[in-house]
Amino acid sequence: MQFSELGLGDKVTDAVTAAGYTKPTDIQAQAIPHVLEKKDLIGIAQTGTGKTASFVLPMLSLLEKGRARARMPRTLILEPTRELAAQVHENFEKYGKNHRLTVALLIGGVSFEDQNKKLDRGADVLIATPGRLLDHFERGRLLLTGVDILVIDEADRMLDMGFIPDIERICGLLPPRRQTLFFSATMPPEIQKLTERFLTNPIKVEVARQNSTAETIDQKLLKVGTTPKDKRAALRDQIRAAKDLKNAIIFCNRKRDVATVARSLERHGFSAGALHGDMDQKSRMETLDRFRAGDLPILVASDVAARGLDIPAVSHVFNFDVPTHAEDYVHRIGRTGRAGRSGSAITLVTPAEGKYVEAITKLIQRDIEWIESESSTSVQEPKPARRSRSNKRTDEPARRETPQEDTSSAKQKSAEPKKKRRDAPRRASNDDSPATFESEGHIPAFLLRPVRRHA
């Protein structure tokens, strides 16, 4: 099937052809005709299958007639992150170059004044994150009663980030007669309930089994030690040993670990950058642009980079931490092996993370191969805590005076006074009887005064 057979307008078809595309992906071929027919739709497909174009292209055709009024957008697209919103904006600029549509982007990290100017001119397409959209609405700068098409993209990510209450509020502000499009890689029960509430007789399009991973991705698990130092050493070994590594994304569960791992890699001679939600928008976009351009071969990121980012040629993904939510594993490794390309995904696993691996294999319904490395077989056990100086002083004279004395008895003798000091406060605090004062030295005079008893 060709794009020209999907019923898109000539302007859109020409823009797609100019971009070098002739055949639609499976999700595009199945979803676009239903969107053009103004039907509600649920689109389920794994990352890298072209979900964004499956709603951008038909929306451009539907918006060819009509014009937006000030502060009353005609369509609304909700995205969970700034990066995804900016990427959708780029798609409208790319495929809508033959149209005269006004596209407004409402995301954090950008001044309200600049965004207000675009809203005042009228926006045919409004792309926003839920929080910033509600900020503008509460300031009285936005009316949502003219929205004809609502798109909720990466709905399962909205759930993970806690945006469902905001989504419910926004849907309540929109006119009931509208077209609603849901796109997601997975369909958890909470999202299913949301579709039942806000969609009317939706068409369900599913191009791949839910929670599946691409067959083009070579998935591996690697056992590592329990300390962060062990994990960082194993990560460096895997990067050095990786075959055909052009670029890589390293995912961490915690934002603070993103910065730590990036600095560690730089100290060991790797060119690496960090990307997480606490960075300002300018720094985040600059880092992403450097990674896309190839100037930054290694990107250490939180799950903010796990969804929808258009980086088609990522050769490797490393999970520094096993994701605590199994669905996030699908999205993380979906950054590689896109558009039929081959990719590699290696996950570092500590003993405590085994339960998360079990959840992942159950979700994707396949086993993942375990591998070993030189560093993983030589991981040292955590070193015992260093003895205090007082312990050394009590042990050393005993060893010098009685060299043949049993060491276990010597340790027991040296530990007895210390045990008495530790237990004494607990006995005093747990005993209901009056505390007594014991001392072999001088007793203060105020403790010897008689206690007056009142009749």
Q: Tens digit of pLDDT for each residue in 173-205?
A: 999 999 999 998 878 888 899 999 999 999 999
Higher pLDDT among residues 443 and 35, named by residue:
35
Q: Which amino acid would we find at residue 309?
A: L
Q: Is residue 105 part of a domain?
A: yes
Higher pLDDT among residues 47 and 372, named by residue:
372
Higher pLDDT among residues 291 and 442, named by residue:
291
Shared-domain flag, residues 196 and 225: no
Shared-domain flag, residues 249 and 147: no
The CATH number linked to 343 is 3.40.50.300
- Going by pLDDT thresholds of 50, 70 and 90, the confidence category of residue 49 is confident
Question: Is residue 244 pLDDT above 80, yes or no?
Answer: yes
Higher pLDDT among residues 396 and 84, named by residue:
84
Question: Is residue 229 pLDDT above 90, yes or no?
Answer: yes
pLDDT confidence of residue 48: 66
pLDDT in tens, 332-383: 898 888 767 889 999 999 999 999 999 999 988 899 999 976 544 433 333 4
Shared-domain flag, residues 56 and 106: yes
Q: Is residue 298 part of a domain?
A: yes
Q: Is residue 452 part of a domain?
A: no
- Going by pLDDT thresholds of 50, 70 and 90, the confidence category of residue 451 is low
- Going by pLDDT thresholds of 50, 70 and 90, the confidence category of residue 30 is very high
pLDDT confidence of residue 450: 66
Shared-domain flag, residues 278 and 171: no
Shared-domain flag, residues 62 and 85: yes
Beta carbons of 305 and 274 less than 8 angstroms apart: no
Shared-domain flag, residues 175 and 270: no
Helix (H) or strand (E) holding 410: helix 407-430
pLDDT confidence of residue 441: 54
pLDDT confidence of residue 310: 67
Question: Is residue 96 pLDDT above 70, yes or no?
Answer: yes
Q: Within a 13 Å sphere around the CA of 53, how many CA atoms are in the beta-carbon half? A: 24
pLDDT confidence of residue 454: 60
Shared-domain flag, residues 324 and 373: yes
pLDDT confidence of residue 281: 77
CA distance 171 to 150: 9
- Give the chain's domain count: 2
Q: Which amino acid would we find at residue 427?
A: R
Q: Which of 177, 206, 235 is the last residue of a domain?
A: 206
Question: Is residue 247 pLDDT above 80, yes or no?
Answer: yes
- Going by pLDDT thresholds of 50, 70 and 90, the confidence category of residue 394 is very low
CA distance 273 to 292: 12
For tokens 């590594």, name the residue: 245
Q: Which of 347, 377, 407 is the last residue of a domain?
A: 377
Angle between helices 26-36 and 51-62 (to 10 degrees): 30
- Going by pLDDT thresholds of 50, 70 and 90, the confidence category of residue 447 is low
pLDDT confidence of residue 387: 43
Q: Which of 377, 392, 414 is the last residue of a domain?
A: 377
Beta carbons of 26 and 32 less than 8 angstroms apart: no
Question: Is residue 321 pLDDT above 60, yes or no?
Answer: yes
Question: Is residue 423 pLDDT above 60, yes or no?
Answer: no
Looking only at the bridges linking them, the beta strands covering 41-44 and 103-106 are unpaired
Once rounded to an integer, what is the mean pLDDT over residues 147-159? Answer: 92
Shared-domain flag, residues 31 and 75: yes
Q: Is residue 447 part of a domain?
A: no
Shared-domain flag, residues 227 and 299: yes
CA distance 117 to 318: 42
CA distance 272 to 36: 43
Shared-domain flag, residues 23 and 84: yes
Beta carbons of 215 and 334 less than 8 angstroms apart: no
Q: 299 lies in which domain range?
A: 217-377
Q: Is residue 424 part of a domain?
A: no
Closest by CA position to 205, among listed 236, 188, 183: 183
pLDDT confidence of residue 296: 94
pLDDT confidence of residue 443: 64
Higher pLDDT among residues 360 and 404, named by residue:
360
Once rounded to an integer, what is the mean pLDDT over residues 42-64? Answer: 89
Question: Is residue 405 pLDDT above 70, yes or no?
Answer: no
Shared-domain flag, residues 25 and 132: yes
Q: Is residue 363 part of a domain?
A: yes
Shared-domain flag, residues 51 and 184: yes
Q: Which residues, including other chains, have CB under 8 Å from residue 357's CB and lie 6 or more apart?
A: 221, 322, 347, 349, 368
Q: Is residue 402 part of a domain?
A: no
Q: Is residue 113 part of a domain?
A: yes
